[in-house]
Chain A
């Protein structure tokens, strides 16, 4: 009986691992394709980490814009990362995860800036937090938020507010 239970546990583990590997890989691939497509789409919206706006004569309207995403790694990556921490070194499986999250958050910020009618976002800050779930300890979900100030020439405005 114990042998059957142990065997069943192994089966569940292997199925989760395979599911994580194949579905996770496919999803990462699809996400990267979508990121690249939208990065080309929002290429005209520039984002800089400079603190001060460029010296321009025309008055500018500004607004805080932000984008955020919570992203989680798959079962396979968690397993590989868990093994990797035994010997230490570079955890490349998590690197791509954070890279995706950061690019996605930046894209969402740019989308908001474009809706506001701006093509320039300055003073961009990127912030990451762990969002741990209640299920298990250390559910590796990361929240990445990008925010900045979108500027657009105030000429588009009907009357200046004082």
Chain B
């Protein structure tokens, strides 16, 4: 997702098991989060776009960037404790105030055989 190169080294999946591979060590939960807001220009444009409806591309990109960042942080944490996979990954998003959102990615770091 975030970084295809990193994902080749570290397996990230929202499954609880990996088909054909066994979990050797369980390292506990890892997480990554980020809070993002949009800048005024994007917000104004979105306000105009809101008259006719449809996709707000600026926001889609923003949320995607935030999610990539959260995933990257989670993966960095997993790597720092010596995991080679993160399983059962979940995403959660909350809007904190108007114009700011927190994205959280969490999962279980494991060592696969």
Residues on A facing B (Cβ under 8 Å): 16, 19-20, 23-24, 27-28, 31, 51-53, 56, 58-60, 62-66, 68-75, 77, 97, 104, 122-123, 125, 127, 129-137, 139, 141, 143, 145, 147-149, 151, 154, 161-162
Contact = CB atoms under 8 A, between A and B. Distances in A.
Given A23-B53, A122-B15, 15 more contacts: A20-B53, A27-B53, A28-B53, A52-B15, A53-B19, A59-B19, A59-B20, A60-B19, A66-B1, A68-B63, A72-B55, A75-B52, A135-B46, A141-B59, A154-B20
Contacts of A125: 14, 90-91
B46 A145 contact: no
B18 interface: yes
B28 interface: no
Main secondary structure of the interface of A (DSSP, over half): mixed
A44 B64 CA distance: 25
Contact of A139 (B1, B11, B50): B50
A81 to B, nearest CB: 12
Contacts of B60: 68-70, 143
Main secondary structure of the interface of B (DSSP, over half): mixed
Interface string B1-44: 10000011001111111111100000000000000001010011
